[in-house]
Amino acid sequence: MPLAAPSSHAINPLLELPAVELRDRLAAGALRAVELAEACIARVEAREPEIGAWAWFDPDHVREQAADLDAHRASGRTIGPLHGLPVGIKDIIDTAGIPTENGTVLDADRVPTRDAWIVARLKQAGAVIMGKTATAELAFAHPAATRNPRAPSHTPGGSSSGSAAAVADRMAPLAIGTQTAGSVIRPAAFCGIVGFKPSFGAIPRTGILRQSPNLDTVGVFAADLAGAALLAEALFGHDAADAATAPAPAPGLLEAARAEPAETPAFGFVKGPAWESADDETKDAFAALAGSLAGRCEQVALPDVFAEALAARESINFVEMARNYHRYVDQGRDRLGPQTIEAIARGETISDRDYAAALELPAVLNAALERLFARFDAILTPAAPGPAPAGLASTGSPAFNGLWTLCGTPAITIPALEAANGLPMGVQLVGPRPGDARLLRTANWLVRYLAPPQQGGEATP
């Protein structure tokens, strides 16, 4: 942990370092922002023709930012918590003066005049805006051209395909995506990295393509748990323009991701409503994982009402897509992918009554989850039905993610398992809302528990 990113091109050792260590070296002056930027640029230039992770990338723009940050530090002024760290930005997130094309030709050459809230926050924190990462069309299901760095003939997942691939291939230490069904957890799992979807409303969405306001959630990608916590902590906040957010003290996510729980955590192994869609290898791997946690893990059956969750999430998503994407249909229906058109058409057929009923379901589900989280620190469940499927025509199934997006609970995937074909399989942990720090602390325990034994020592905490 984290798994290395195999490729035919040697990786600069600098890019193998965890994001937090890079942050510390940059803060101490042991590493200059321009050095890290040049390493990332070289990696992109070597690998981008094969991977296709970027929708927009300008090496000179990266160099200019890095040089400015080095000058800032040299002046003795205070530096931000992400000083000098390159971050990839999903191409549905507005960037002033930089194209944001939302993964569709219908927004070709669209250049926003204002930064999204999170981009402004990144700049305040001293991050280098590395570029815009490729996304499925309108952040839905029609794939981008991105390939999986672990196996280029397999999907990287979606819709945050470019963000996951860029981090997995070490083109950037950190990246941002969004999740409306499974668009952070699934691609992270397929590409063998950490993906963290915080509690709904934890990170403001102002300036981000509006697909489904009752579901859209900003998430982060990193090679390891601490890196994901570092980036997420810098983005948590309140924005009056986003009604989903609320004033609250920022949780210490990085500290939690590196801390040991006061007690050994308890896990509830949940198969969930999508269990039958999992392949046999995934079922066997999770049975073995739950068994290895004997005394710490108990299989739990969710109440029958959870069987309605995936259909309810789709209803909300499709109705809100129909409302928010009608302009794209009017502008160029024949230039949209069939998945997008089908979802919008389905959304137009769902009655107001059924939509309202779907919106009421999360409260029922969360009431049941509160009782579950009174017994367990986290839910243990697959991140996807299996490893990344072969082929690039689909981004894979979000069946193991949609329930948690609907409920707004924090979720994280760690690359702890491997399929027989060598591809990673993500272990998803789900925590109570808004227990993001608690979830990260529990995930840290599991990462350490599953780590290979060190010579002369024990792996388990």
pLDDT tens string 366-382: 999 999 999 999 999 99
Identify whether 62 is part of a domain: yes
User: DSSP letter string over 215-275?
Assistant: T-EEEEEESSHHHHHHHHHHH----TT-TT----PPP-HHHHHTSPPSS---EEEE--TTG
Mean pLDDT of 400-407: 98
- Nearest Cα neighbor of 40 from 27, 29, 26 is 26
The H or E element spanning position 369 is helix 352-373
- Residue 440, phi then psi, degrees to nearest 5: -65, -40
Task: Say yes or no to pLDDT of 5 above 90.
Answer: no
Identify whether 45 is part of a domain: yes
Work out the burial of residue 200: count CB atoms within 10 Å of its CB; fewer than 13 is exposed, 13-18 middle, 19 or more buried: buried
Mean pLDDT of 194-210: 98
Task: Say yes or no to pLDDT of 460 above 50.
Answer: no
- Residue 7's pLDDT band (boundaries 50, 70, 90)? low
Identify whether 460 is part of a domain: no
The contacts of residue 103 (CB under 8 Å, 6+ apart) are 55, 91, 92, 134, 135, 136, 137, 138, 139, 142, 144, 159
Bridge partner list, 195: 221, 413
442: amino acid identity, one letter = T
Mean pLDDT of 228-236: 98
Query: What is the per-residue pLDDT across 412-442, written as a single tens digit (0 to 9) for each?
Result: 999 999 999 999 999 999 999 999 999 999 9
- Nearest Cα neighbor of 141 from 330, 311, 393, 323 is 393
Identify whether 437 is part of a domain: yes
Bridge partner list, 132: 56, 89
27: amino acid identity, one letter = A
Task: Say yes or no to pLDDT of 26 above 60.
Answer: yes
* Residue 181 DSSP label: S
Residues 460, 447: contact at Cβ < 8 Å?
A: no
Identify whether 202 is part of a domain: yes
**d(Cα 286, Cα 220) in Å, to the nearest integer?**
25
Identify whether 42 is part of a domain: yes
323: amino acid identity, one letter = R
**d(Cα 377, Cα 429) in Å, to the nearest integer?**
10
User: Angle 436-450/225-235 helices, nearest 10 degrees?
Assistant: 170
Query: What is the per-residue pLDDT across 108-166, written as a single tens digit (0 to 9) for each?
Result: 999 999 999 999 999 999 999 999 999 999 999 999 999 999 999 999 999 999 999 99
Query: What is the per-residue pLDDT across 303-324, written as a single tens digit (0 to 9) for each?
Result: 999 999 999 999 999 999 999 9
Identify whether 459 is part of a domain: no
Q: Most distant CA pair in the chain: distance in Å? A: 66
Domain count for the chain, please give it. Answer: 1
Query: What is the per-residue pLDDT across 35-72, written as a single tens digit (0 to 9) for each?
Result: 999 999 999 999 999 999 999 999 999 999 999 999 99
Name the percent of the chain lying above pLDDT 70: 96
Q: CATH number for the domain including 167?
A: 3.90.1300.10
- Nearest Cα neighbor of 392 from 181, 164, 158, 46 is 158
**d(Cα 31, Cα 400) in Å, to the nearest integer?**
40
Domain that holds residue 42: 1-451
Identify whether 457 is part of a domain: no
Mean pLDDT of 79-103: 98
- Residue 458's pLDDT band (boundaries 50, 70, 90)? very low
Task: Say yes or no to pLDDT of 183 above 70.
Answer: yes
- Residue 452's pLDDT band (boundaries 50, 70, 90)? confident
- Nearest Cα neighbor of 137 from 84, 88, 92, 190 is 92
Mean pLDDT of 328-351: 97
The H or E element spanning position 22 is helix 19-28
**d(Cα 414, Cα 447) in Å, to the nearest integer?**
8
Mean pLDDT of 214-222: 98
Mean pLDDT of 182-206: 98
Indicate the pTM of the whole model. 0.96
Compute the half-sphere exposure of residue 102: CA atoms within 13 Å on the CB side of its CA: 20
Task: Tell me what the pLDDT averaged over the chain comes to.
Answer: 95
**d(Cα 146, Cα 165) in Å, to the nearest integer?**
8
**d(Cα 148, Cα 128) in Å, to the nearest integer?**
24
**Chain Cα centroid distance, residue 461:** 27
Mean pLDDT of 239-257: 95
Residues 284, 344: contact at Cβ < 8 Å?
A: no
